[in-house]
Amino acid sequence: VKIDGPLYSGKAKDVLMTDDPEIVAVRFRDDITAGDGEKKDTLEMKGYYNSVISAKIFEVLEEAGVPTQYLELPEPGCMLARKLDMIPIEVILRNIAAGSIVRRFPFTEGQEFRPPIIQMDYKSDEHGDPMLNEDIILALGIATRDEISEIRRMTFKINDVLVEFFREKGIILPDFKLEFGRDSSGRIRLGDEVSPDTCRLWDMETGKPLDKDIFRRGEEGVVSAYRRVAEMILDREDTE
């Protein structure tokens, strides 16, 4: 396909139109933000690593029967994807307590959730991404009851696949954020990205984070951690 003009720009990615109305190009930028965009930086190669990691995860999920937006990664940094009608919900799954849930509720950092917790936040910078419940989702008209249960089912499935995938690579998956959309036939597919920007990933040997928490804490070594994740989960030739 031929890549045309911009369709949408987010905090870390651009979505571009192509000459095929069903296909978009997703460009992973080196921009990184935290705390609703309060903390910002540009880290060389961050987009590169997030794109190759996301592509690999989408491939693993498709192989496990999870429908995603992913089509191909013709070059690192730029992914071809099915155009989706995105649902403005940040679907967060938590296996281990960390981050905002420990600040907002009396949970202990590192405590395991069995079964895992699914939390849905309204994706709205203007409103500060407030937590949703099913009644609010229905009242907002952003998803139907059937879509909510399909999203929950898919999220648990994705968790089963990814916990096992990362475990085999020496990585613990405490939590992650997903976004879903509808394809042209109305089917729910996983969209956006799955990367160290959107997941907590802990090195199994050291217990140290290999994800955006390094940036959130203002520490060095963000890109080298992301490169490490890429090396741990990809076959060698993919990271070069």
Contact 81, 23 (CB under 8 A): yes
Region of 24-32, 74-82, 142-150, 194-202 interacting with ligand C5P (CB under 6 A):
194-202
What percentage of the chain's residues is helix, strand, coil (to nearest 5)? 30, 35, 35
Which residue of 13, 82, 83, 200 would you call a contact of ligand C5P, by CB under 6 A?
200
Q: What part of residues 10-29 is at the interface with ligand C5P (CB under 6 A)?
A: none
Backbone angles phi, psi at 56, to 5 degrees: -60, -45
Which residue of 48, 176, 180, 215 would you call a contact of ligand C5P, by CB under 6 A?
176
Which residue of 175, 181, 223, 225 would you call a contact of ligand C5P, by CB under 6 A?
175
Task: Give the span between the Cα atoms of 137 and 118, in whole angstroms.
Answer: 15
Region of 40-48, 159-167, 180-188, 196-204 interacting with ligand C5P (CB under 6 A):
196-204
The residue with its CB nearest to ligand C5P is 99
SS3 123: coil
Backbone angles phi, psi at 227, to 5 degrees: -65, -40
Q: Is 100 a binder of ligand C5P (CB under 6 A)? A: yes
SS3 5: strand
Which positions from 42 to 81 touch ligand C5P by CB under 6 A, shown as an x/- string? ----------------------------------------
Helix segments in 72-189, DSSP class H: 100-104, 134-140, 145-168
SS3 169: coil
Q: Is 199 a binder of ligand C5P (CB under 6 A)? A: yes
- Binding residues (CB under 6 A) for ligand C5P: these are 90, 92, 99-101, 129, 175-177, 198-200, 212
